[in-house]
Structure 1
Amino acid sequence: MVRLAIAQHAAADSVADNLATAERLIADAAAQGAKLVCFPEVHLSPFFPKTKGGDASKWALTPDDASIARLSEAAKANGIVVVSNLYLADRDGRRYDASPVFDADGTLLGVSRMNEIAQFDGFWEKDYYAPGEGFAVYDTAAGRVGVVICFDRHFPESYRAVARAGADIVATPTCIETSEPVSLFEAEMRTLSFHNSVYSLLANRCGREEERSYAGQSLICAPDGAVLSRAGSSAQLLFADCDLDARRQMAEERGFLSARIVREGAVTKG
C-alpha cells in the first residue's frame, strides 16, 4: 500500500509565503505517512489568469529559481515525492503552466507542461501560457506517476496517454471556481479513473482572490471509479491509501488499455 496526499490550500500574494506553506504541508504529509503529495495549479502565486491580458511576469520562475531548489530540498528532507505546479519561464523566454516532479530523494525527474490552453472568463490562460508537447510518466518512489494538468483532463486522450505509458497514479493540479460544476468534474474524474484503471488526484486550490472564489473539494479516486477521499472547501491535507499491485491486476483483467479499439483508432470511409 502507498499513501497519497493532496495539499489543498489558498494562495497568498507572495511567493515566499506560499513556499513556506508548501514546505510545511510537505513535512506534514510525510509525517502522516504519505509517499507522494500533489499541489494545486500554480500554487506559489495567486491565480493570475483570472485577469485578461495582465502582466504576470513577477510570478514567472526560471528553472534555477531558489524556490524550485527549496521544493527539491523539502522532498529530500522528508523522503516524499512532490508534484508541484508553477508558472515556469524556460530559458527561451516562453512561459508554461508546468509541473516539476521531484522524487523522494529530491531528484527533479522532469517537468510536465499543460498542452491545451483555456481561454474564457476567469481562465484567460492563452494570455500567459505557451502549450506543452505531450505527456510524461515518471518512475518514482511512490509508483509510476503521470501528470495531466487542469484543462488537459477534459480531453480523455490525456489520461489514456499516461495510462498506456504505464502510470499507476495520475496527478492533476487544477484551479476550479465555486461557480463551476464541481459535481460534474467529480463524475469526470471518476470516469477517467475507471476507464484507465488508475488512481487519480484532482488537487484544487481554495479561498477567495479578489472577485474570484475557488472551490476546494479536491478528490482522490480509485481505479474502480470510487471516490476514496474528498476535501471540503477549506485548506486541508487529503489522504488515501492505495494498492498499486491490485491496480495493475485490475488493469490487466479489464483490458481497457490493451483493447483493439485503442490500438487501431478510427478509420474514415466513403
Structure 2
Amino acid sequence: MKAAAVQLTVGHTREEAIDLAEELIREAAGQGASLVVLPELFAVPFVQPEPDPEYFVYAEGLEDGPSNSMVRRVSEELGITIVSSIFEGRSTPGVYGNTAATYVKGELKQVYRKSHLPFSNGFPEKYYFRPGDEAPSAVDTTVGRVGTIICYERHFPELGRAVALDGGIVLSVPVACASAPMKEVFQLELRAQAVANGFYVVCANRSGLEIVKDYFGTSAVYGPNGEVLDQIDDGAGIAIAEIDPELVARTRRTRPFLRDRRPDMYPSLVLDAAS
C-alpha cells in the first residue's frame, strides 16, 4: 500500500486547480497510491492577512460543490481514499467551515472541521470559519485507519495523539503554509507527531507566491520513526511512499508510548483555564 501527498501550485482559477488536482491524483494512483491527501482549501486561494468580506464567494457545499464532486468521482472510479479540504458553506446561512472530507471508494466516510483556528501571523481564520466541535478521530480506509488534522493544528500534539488512540496508522495533514521562518519548525513538528504516535504522517502543502504569501511546498510522507520517506520541494507534484501497518504495530511495541501514558496524572491539561 502507498500514500501520496499532492502539492499544488497557486495562481489558478478554481476550475484549473481542480483539474490539476485530478491529474495529480491520477498520477499518484498510477504509481500505486491507495491514499491521496490534498492541500488545505486546495481549489481556491487561501486567506490573506487582511480579512476580506468578498472571500466568502469561494464557499461551496460539502458534497454538491465542485471540489468534492471531483474527489468523490475519482475516488470511486479509482477505488482509492482521498482526503479533500474545502471552504465549506454550511447548512446554516452565514456559517462556514475549514473542512476536510475523507472519501473511500467514492463514499464520504469522515468529515472533520478544523477545530483550532488561528487569528495571528497573517492567518485571520477566525474571521471566516466556525471552529469544529468534534475531536480528530480515525476512520477505516483503503490503507487502514486514517485521521486528519488541518495545518495550524500540527502545533497541538494532543490532536495527533487523539488519532493514534483511535487506532490511526496514518495522520493526514492538509496545510497552507507560507511562513519561511516556520519551515524548519513545520518539518520538526510533523516528524515529532510521527515519532510520538508511531504512525505515518502525510502532509500536503501548496507552492508559490499567492498575493503576499509565498507557500514553501515541502509536502512529504513521514515514517513512524520520523524519517522523510519522500518529499517534493517546489512546484506541483506528488510525494509518495509505502505504508506498512506491521511497521506501525512493531514501532508501538518497541516504543510503547501509548501503553505508558498516564492520563490520571495530566488532569491540568484539560481543566478550564478559568476554573
Give the TM bin, normalised by the shorter chain. Answer: over 0.9
Which residue of the partner structure matches residue 71 of structure 2? Answer: 71
Letter in 2 for 1:82: I
Q: Could you list the runs of 5+ residues in structure 2 that have no partner in the other structure?
A: 269-275
Q: Over aligned residues, Cα RMSD in angstroms?
A: 1.5
Give the alignment of 1:186-197 within 5 angstroms. Answer: 186-197=187-198
1:113 has 2:113 as partner:
yes
Which residue of the partner structure matches residue 210 of structure 1? Answer: 211
**1:218 deviation in Å?**
1.2
Q: Do the aligned residues in 2 keep the contact of 1:59 with 1:87 (CA within 8 Å)?
A: yes
Letter in 1 for 2:121: D
Provide the secondary structure at the position in 2 that maps to 1:48: coil
Q: Give me the TM-score of the superposition, normalised by structure 2.
A: 0.91
Shifted more, 164-173 versus 22-31: the winner is 22-31
Q: Do the aligned residues in 1 keep the contact of 2:176 with 2:206 (CA within 8 Å)?
A: yes
Letter in 2 for 1:189: L
Q: Do the aligned residues in 2 keep the contact of 1:113 with 1:132 (CA within 8 Å)?
A: yes
Deviating 4+ runs (over 3 angstroms): none
1:39 has 2:38 as partner:
yes
Q: Give me the TM-score of the superposition, normalised by structure 1.
A: 0.93
CA–CA distance in 1 between the matches of 2:98 and 2:46? 11
Letter in 2 for 1:55: E
Which residue of the partner structure matches residue 257 of structure 2? Answer: 256
**1:121 deviation in Å?**
3.3
**1:38 deviation in Å?**
0.4
Letter in 2 for 1:11: V
CA–CA distance in 1 between the matches of 2:210 and 2:266? 44
Q: Deviations over 1:118-151 (max 9, x none)?
A: 0123211111111012112110011110101111
Q: Deviations over 1:64-108 (max 9, x none)?
A: 4242222101111122210011101111232111111000x2111
CA–CA distance in 1 between the matches of 2:249 and 2:261? 19
Provide the secondary structure at the position in 2 that maps to 1:85: strand
Which residue of the partner structure matches residue 273 of structure 2? Answer: none
CA–CA distance in 2 between the matches of 1:267 and 1:214? 38
Q: Deviations over 1:180-221 (max 9, x none)?
A: 321121111111100100100121111111122110011211
Q: Do the aligned residues in 1 keep the contact of 2:143 with 2:243 (CA within 8 Å)?
A: no
Give the alignment of 1:1-270 within 5 angstroms. Answer: 2-67=1-66, 68-93=68-93, 94-103=95-104, 105-133=105-133, 134-261=135-262, 263-267=263-267
Q: Could you list the runs of 5+ residues in structure 1 that have no partner in the other structure?
A: none
